[in-house]
Amino acid sequence: MIDGLIAGRLMGDASRRTDKMGRGYTVARVLARNKADEEFIVNVIAFDEAVCAALLALGDGEALSLSGSLTPKVWTDKQGMVRPSLDMVAAQVLTAYHQGRKQTTMGERGTDSY
């Protein structure tokens, strides 16, 4: 297992699902770029309620960063090209909305620097 941090934009809307045991989880797809500026897809699944809520609150194209465990994969597109992808079990999420709230909270404590 690889622990990682990815940043990208949500592809479509996240969706809430329920497993056979009745437990809820959320799935999403994130479009990210690597160092060579090539796009790749990150398939995200989240079980933590706070992470699920954050993903469900975002809309298509919104920016976010996720941390969690990564599994590298490859897939073949319609043209027969092999493309990289990642599967992620998200443990944390950070969006512009979270950052604004964090800065406000830190300012209220009287600490302007990190």
6-38 pLDDT, tens digit each: 999 999 999 999 999 999 999 999 999 988 888
pLDDT at residue 109 greater than cutoff 70: no
Return the CATH number of the domain spanning residue range 2-108. Answer: 2.40.50.140
Question: Is 42:88 a contact under the CB 8 Å cutoff?
Answer: yes
Cα–Cα distances (Å) from 88 to 20, 24, 70, in that order, read 21, 17, 5
Q: What is the value of pTM for the model shown?
A: 0.80
Nearest CA to 96 out of 49, 52, 70, 58 is that of 58
Which residues is 66 bridged to in the sheet?
6, 93
